[in-house]
Amino acid sequence: MLIRETAESDLPAILHVHRLAFGQDEEAALTEAILRDPSAQPVVSLLALVDGEPAGHILFSRAGLSSSRSSGLGSSNVEAGPSAALLAPLAVVPAAQSQGIGGALIRRGLEDLSRAGTALVFVLGYPAYYQRHGFQAAGRLGFAAPYPIAERNAEAWMVQMLGDHSPGKGDWQVTCADTLNKPEYWVE
Ligand X SMILES: CC(C)(COP(=O)(O)OP(=O)(O)OC[C@H]1O[C@@H](n2cnc3c(N)ncnc32)[C@H](O)[C@@H]1OP(=O)(O)O)[C@@H](O)C(=O)NCCC(=O)NCCS
- What is the contact mask toward ligand X in residues 127 to 166, using x (rule: CB under 6 A)? -xx-------------------------------------
CA distances from 94 to 79, 156, 170 (A): 43, 23, 41
Give yes or no for a contact between 154 and 137, defined as CB atoms under 8 angstroms apart: yes
Closest CB to ligand X among residues 55, 81: 55
Segment near ligand X (CB under 6 A), from 1-9, 92-100, 139-147, 164-172? Answer: 92-100
- What is the contact mask toward ligand X in residues 2 to 41, using x (rule: CB under 6 A)? -------------------xx-------------------
Closest CB to ligand X among residues 57, 62: 57
* Closest by CA position to 91, among listed 29, 34, 6, 15: 15
Shortest Å, Cβ 12 to ligand X: 18
Shortest Å, Cβ 14 to ligand X: 13
Q: How far is CA 2 from the centre of its chain?
A: 21
Give residue number: closest CB to ligand X: 102
SS3 45: strand
- Those residues with Cβ within 8 angstroms of residue 135's Cβ, 6 or more apart along the chain or in another chain: 121, 123, 158, 159, 160
CA distances from 4 to 1, 55, 105, 116 (A): 10, 12, 9, 16
Interacting residue with ligand X among 54, 81, 102, 146 (CB under 6 A)? 102
Site residues (vs ligand X, CB under 6 A) = 21-22, 89-92, 97-103, 125-126, 128-129
